[in-house]
Amino acid sequence: DTGVSQDPRHKITKRGQNVTFRCDPISEHNRLYWYRQTLGQGPEFLTYFQNEAQLEKSRLLSDRFSAERPKGSFSTLEIQRTEQGDSAMYLCASSPGTGRSEAFFGQGTRLTVV
Amino acid sequence: AQKVTQAQTEISVVEKEDVTLDCVYETRDTTYYLFWYKQPPSGELVFLIRRNSFDEQNEISGRYSWNFQKSTSSFNFTITASQVVDSAVYFCALSEASGAAGNKLTFGGGTRVLVKP
């Protein structure tokens, strides 16, 4: 499977715990994005990487959120001290480094904070 | 700031009927890109079509067709002869050319399509 893969697919955690999600983009794609999708809504942009550089962060990304993309390959999204409002689907997408082509999405990680 | 509005929250049709999904967008950019994505129950967003702002030619691809009208900032999408497998949530999205964040997408709220046998 050469698509975007995300791990885990589902995560249930207690409020206050830290969680980390992983995204493996399509191998030749330089651009990587994280989005958050709550129930019944469209995805909302969180952050963007060009290779290993994090070039933009949304105001949605509070101080409890951090994302990395070491070596410009896979990426991780960590949420510290989770809150119930963090419950959502976290989607990762990647696209080629040139032009304005479409982004390809993974199947997402569904986070439930109890 | 850019904005995408999908006024229809849910559409229910009987198989073989045509389905048209409405999308209206707002942007200050003169060059931008519009997309339609499909999200089946599995959750993965599947790319369907892409249109550049400088190309208003409407096209048909299989059972999909789209109507891009810059004058009214609309990018409507039609599924012809719908099938049960078309049941999903459909999202319209916008990407601005001037944005620093690569191909960052702004999504509409989605339209749930239910195709009944």
pLDDT tens per residue, range B70-90: 999 999 999 999 999 999 999
Q: First and final CA of chain B: distance in angstroms?
A: 41
Rounded to a whole number of angstroms, the distance from the CA of A15 to the nearest CA of chain B is 24
Mutation for A interface: B38, B104, B107, most A CBs within 10 A: B104
CB contact under 8 A, A93 and B45: yes
| Segments in chain B below pLDDT 50 | none
Instruction: Please tell me the distance from the alpha carbon of residue B57 to that of residue A64, in angstroms, as a whole number.
Output: 45
Q: pLDDT at position A99, please?
A: 62
Contacts of A98 in chain B (CB under 8 A): none
What pLDDT band is residue A98 in, cutting at 50, 70 and 90? Answer: low
Q: pLDDT at position B98, please?
A: 63
Q: pLDDT at position B54, please?
A: 82
Rounded to a whole number of angstroms, the distance from the CA of B23 to the nearest CA of chain A is 13
Compare A5 and B56 and report the one with higher pLDDT. Answer: A5
For A91, which of B4, B45, B101 is closest by C-beta distance?
A: B45
Instruction: Please tell me the distance from the alpha carbon of residue B61 to that of residue A14, in angstroms, as a whole number.
Output: 47
Question: From the centroid of its chain, how far is CA A98?
Answer: 21
Q: pLDDT at position B59, please?
A: 73
CA distances from A8 to A22, A62, A91 (A): 7, 22, 11
CA distances from A101 to A50, A96, B57, B64, B95 (A): 14, 7, 18, 19, 10
Nearest Cα residue in chain B from A34: B104
What pLDDT band is residue A96 in, cutting at 50, 70 and 90? Answer: confident
What pLDDT band is residue A52 in, cutting at 50, 70 and 90? Answer: very high
Instruction: Please tell me the distance from the alpha carbon of residue B16 to that of residue B84, in angstroms, as a whole number.
Output: 9
For A33, which of B104, B106, B108 is closest by C-beta distance?
A: B104
Q: pLDDT at position A60, please?
A: 84
Give the number of A-B residue pairs with CB atoms closer than 8 Å. 70
Instruction: Please tell me the distance from the alpha carbon of residue B7 to that of residue A108, in angstroms, as a whole number.
Output: 25
Res A55 pLDDT > 70: yes
Q: What are phi and psi for residue A71, nearest 5 degrees?
A: 65, 10
Q: Which residues pair with B13 in a beta bridge?
A: B115
Contacts of B110 in chain A (CB under 8 A): 40-42
Task: Say how many C-beta atoms besides its own lie within 10 A of residue A109's C-beta.
Answer: 23
Q: Mean pLDDT, to the nearest integer, of A51-58?
A: 91
Nearest Cα residue in chain B from A88: B43
Contacts of A89 in chain B (CB under 8 A): 43
- Identify the weakest region by mean pLDDT among A8-12, A99-103, B25-29, B81-85: A99-103
CB contact under 8 A, A107 and B105: no
Q: DSSP state, B57?
A: -
Q: What is the maximum span of chain A, computed from C-alpha positions, in angstroms? A: 42
Q: pLDDT at position A1, please?
A: 54
CA distances from B32 to A52, B26, B82, B101 (A): 26, 11, 29, 13
Mutation for A interface: B2, B30, B103, most A CBs within 10 A: B103
Q: pLDDT at position B89, please?
A: 98
What pLDDT band is residue A28 in, cutting at 50, 70 and 90? Answer: confident
CA distances from A114 to A17, A29, A84, B50 (A): 10, 35, 6, 39
Contacts of B97 in chain A (CB under 8 A): 100
Q: What are phi and psi for residue A18, nearest 5 degrees?
A: -95, 145
Instruction: Please tell me the distance from the alpha carbon of residue B50 to that of residue A54, in angstroms, as a whole number.
Output: 26
Contact predicate B56/B69, CB 8 Å: yes
Rounded to a whole number of angstroms, the distance from the CA of B98 to the nearest CA of chain A is 11
